[in-house]
Amino acid sequence: MGSKADGHSFPSPVASGRKAKDIIDTARENIAKMIGGKPQDIIFTSGGTESNNLVIHSVVKHFHLTHASEGTRAEPSGPLVGAVPHLVTCTVEHDSIRLPLEHLLEEQVAAVTFVPVSKVNGQVEVEDILAAVRPATCLVTIMLANNETGVIMPISEISQRIKALNQKRAASGLPVILLHTDAAQALGKQRVDVEDLGVDLLTIVGHKFYGPRIGALYIRGLGELTPLYPMLFGGGQERNFRPGTENTPMIAGLGKAAELVTKNCEAYEAHMRDVRDYLEERLEAEFDKQRIHLNSRFPGTERLPNTCNFSIRGPQLQGRLVLAQCRTLLASVGAACHSDHADRPSPVLLSCGIPFDVARNALRLSVGRSTTRADVDVVVRDLKQAVARLEGQA
């Protein structure tokens, strides 16, 4: 505490408040620019889990508010009488999509279709998504890129087909189907543009592109074209869509990280692809192609430039055991948020058609902006020594 009489000089609360608002506005503009959207369509959240839950909460509530009247008429009529909202997703989504949807199913608040991915290319097939649509379908949510395999999903193609379908549905009085993508894994590793993707909602996660551990949500035409309903109620921040005192330093960091992605994304992508490809070459050279199974490499399928999911074949070489023997390498056997799965193979890999024994040996390595080929050499040598120790114990 102090006063001007003590010789201290303090900025006025009004000036400080304006500065904080300017910082938040600049961050919002930087995030919008990173994804090719408009600043007014960006809402800050605590992270990807909140963003994904907010999307699901909003579409379900909008369906009930919009179509509840059909069931309250004296003589109920219409194609949605007695229907609950229906949502479509796929079997390899992050838990922050899968678990809220499973909860809605258990509570009988919504119906959900989990579309399996192809065992040939690791992607969800556009035709399978369209085949899952029902009269009460109000949301399709498919991740932009998978966090374990790096496989990129055909979001643009799904969007084009849904837009055409929505025109027909409007004539029949059926609800518009919104398209959401969780872009957490793709941001900072490849260009992400909401216009190219054609999505209505997109989840942003800061720590995935070297930002702070907060997030944001893109909503096309927020409140006008695309409905959003708050899960929280309070002070009215974020235009009442996500109240709570803004975490200005974290938002500033998120905005700066987004600015760096906008400026440098092509360079980041090229570097990571070069190092990741070198990693896979070294693995195949050191362990022999017959022993290495590249779980994230599907013929004709695009994948992120940083992700290498592989298995070293052998009865004693479960991923967890190999990592325990490594002296240098820090990695995971799958998604970091599923680290309590012990020896169970990744459900994502099994869904993609990876055999059980191969999936059980899986390791997921991710390269970053500062990873070098020299780092790769150290890691491959560490892996080779770990495998030798395990096989020597057998």
Token pair in block for residue 348 = 């994502």
Please, what sign has the CA dihedral across residues 281, 287, 291, 294?
negative
* 308: annotated active-site residue: no
Do the Cβ atoms of 143 and 129 come closer than 8 Å?
A: no
Q: Which of 227, 244, 246, 226 is nearest to 235 (CA)?
A: 244
Strand order in the sheet with 307-312: 292-294, 307-312, 362-366
Contact partners, residue 300, CB within 8 Å, separation at least 6:
121
Radius of gyration (Cα) for the chain, nearest Å?
24
Distance CA 218, CA 220 (A): 6
Q: Which of 340, 330, 6, 354 is nearest to 146 (CA)?
A: 354
The DSSP bridge pattern shows strands 111-115 and 178-182 to be unpaired
| Catalytic entry in 90, 308, 337, 352 | 337
Do the Cβ atoms of 181 and 155 come closer than 8 Å?
A: yes
Do the Cβ atoms of 102 and 146 come closer than 8 Å?
A: no
Distance CA 252, CA 207 (A): 13
Query: Which positions are annotated as active-site residues?
Result: 337
